[in-house]
Amino acid sequence: MKILWLDLNSSYAHASLALPALHAQVMHDPSLEWGVVSATINENPGMTAGEVVRQAPDILAATCWLFNHEVLMHVISRVKAMLPRCVVALGGPEFLGHNEDFLRTNRFVDCVFRGEGEETFPQWLACWQQPKEWTRITGLCFLDAEGQYHDNGLSRVMAFDKLVNPEQSPFFNWSKPFVQLETTRGCFNTCAFCVSGGEKPVRTLSVEAIRERVRLIHEKGIRNIRVLDRTFNYQSHRAKALFDLFREFPDMRFHLEIHPALLSEELKKELASMPKGLLHLEAGIQSLHEEVLTVSRRAGKLADALEGLRYLCALDNMETHADLIAGLPLYHLSQIFDDVRTLAEYRAGEIQLESLKLLPGTEMRRRAEELGICYSPLPPYEVLQTREITPDELQTARQLSRLLDGFYNAPAWQEITRRLIVEEPGFLTRFLDHLIQIGIIDQPMGLERRGILLYHFCKEHYPHFLTAMSRAWIEAGMSLKKEPAERVRTKHVTPPEAWTVCTGTYRDNLRLCKLPASEEGRCYWYGFETESQQLRPVFAAVSQE
């Protein structure tokens, strides 16, 4: 029997764990022949379907999620038309809700799995040719030969720590710069917008089991691990034990999701003592307003979350990213702008502003009408309006997200953008309006173009920031022949009698440049290597005029 996995991702930068996780449980069964067809949603569906048909599988399986849903249906419908006897089985987060409408609309899909499939998928493989036996497979949803819908509930793997690790499967993808390591199943939190909000109980792997898997990943040459744990610090003692484990691999980087409201004093000390660059933190915050978090059923007090977030962002040995979600009930557009300013004031490493999506199986989707949420019935199920935010305001929030990604989240322009946000209350609205009016907010822009745009805007509206903008431009290694460097002197520049060195060491063979800053009464000096192709200055100093 041949099983073909359709590995359809949003890009080749990501790899799904679903195939190796399932295959690892049955990989020693000699009666099963496994294959895989990998593609992205940007490729021609007909080409992908053709590759599947050429392999002539008995079973076609795939994971369906909001960003591959549409293209996956196009591919599978073509395959089924050419291979009508091929049985199509799907799983994934798209099927955590009610599945009857989906199955009746997409009759080329034979069955879908709701929940975790490592135990139930092998059970189904034992009876895949006897649909009458499918009623005993927990989590399976299907239409029988008479068109009657069968719903077998939700599948949960309770013996999570007894599963064969996906890294043991030959289908585990070691070619990516990072891998995902699932250390926990479920979440203690009850967020109404999250598919893990009702996923109880929480099941964990032992620290020793995690150590063995990290060691294997390290041996394979991977240096970035995204730890799949919805709230890494929900148990302080476990988090501390894992921090000790991570210290054993100082040349790696671990990406974690942290709940800032649940930071104990013990964990704060642990975080402050971690080696620089070892951790990358994602701080779930969603909103900085109590009523929004309450209606979203987000656990933890807002005051504790703000205190924890401020602490995390102040740590200089790691970077903390914070996220906001536009479209949450009771969340107004003006509050979103206020929250962005607060996060900028905290010096968040990145500010991610996403639009709420009402995912299948979530409490918020079930209560959408009650909460006054209007959302798209098609993937990605984005919120279209609420009682508190209009469709136009949601578009403004989306455009604000583009601004943040292009300027605040770009290391070259982050500090100058942060200062403008914090020190000039009207900057965000004014700059966003400007980018919209000149029609480029939704255009892809290179780093240089973004810098020139910001420089021109400061020149017109915030001239007292021009020196700071020029300094950011120079320190980012941008061309000294472009307008943001128009005041830089590059010829016949000699050192002053006295300066205060900021970075590097001055040498006579450096090409020295001078940036006068008349509004500050200072001069900024930069030294560049003359023989190498390095564009960034290797020396910086400041002096009085």
255 and 299 both lie in a single domain: yes
Residue 382 and residue 530 share a domain: no
Grade residue 518 by pLDDT with cuts at 50, 70 and 90. low
CA distances from 540 to 476, 481, 526 (A): 13, 19, 5
Please indicate, yes or no, whether residues 62 and 96 belong to a single structural domain of this protein: yes
Tell me the per-residue pLDDT of 66-81, one tens digit each, with 9 for 90 and over.
999 999 999 999 999 9
Residue 518 belongs to domain spanning? 487-545
Separation CA 63–CA 103 (nearest Å): 15
Question: Residues 14, 16, 20, CA angle at the centre, nearest 5°?
Answer: 135
Answer for the pair 156, 115: CB distance below 8 angstroms, yes or no: yes
In a domain, 405, yes or no: no
The pair of structure tokens assigned to 518 is 């008349």
Per-residue pLDDT tens for 130-173?
A: 999 999 999 999 999 999 999 999 999 999 999 999 999 999 99
Question: Does residue 500 share a domain with residue 476?
Answer: no
Structural domain includes residue 402: no
Query: What's the total number of domains in the chain?
Result: 4
Indicate if the pLDDT at residue 315 is higher than 80: yes
Q: Is residue 170 part of a domain?
A: no
Residue 176 pLDDT: 87
Retrieve residue 282's tokens: 């994602």
pLDDT band for position 532 (cuts 50, 70, 90): confident
CATH number of the domain that 210 lies in? 3.80.30.20
Q: Tell me, yes or no, whether 398 lies in a domain.
A: no
193: in domain = yes
Whether 431 contacts 396, CB under 8 Å: no
Is residue 204's pLDDT more than 80?
Answer: yes
Residue 199 pLDDT exceeds 70: no
Tokens of 238: 């476990």
The H or E element containing residue 223 is none
Do 257 and 229 touch, CB atoms closer than 8 A? yes
Q: In this structure, is residue 403 part of a structural domain? A: no
**Shared-domain flag, residues 183 and 146:** no
The answer on 491 and 477 residing in a single domain is no
Question: For every residue of 371-410, which 3-state class applies, written as one string?
Answer: HCCEECCCCCCEEEECCCCCHHHHHHHHHHHHHHHHHHCC
- Residue 61 in contact with residue 6, Cβ under 8 Å? yes
Structural domain contains residue 532: yes
The answer to whether residue 168 sits within a structural domain is no
In sequence order, the 6+-apart residues with CB closer than 8 A to the CB of 378 are 70
Residue 88 β-bridge partners: 60
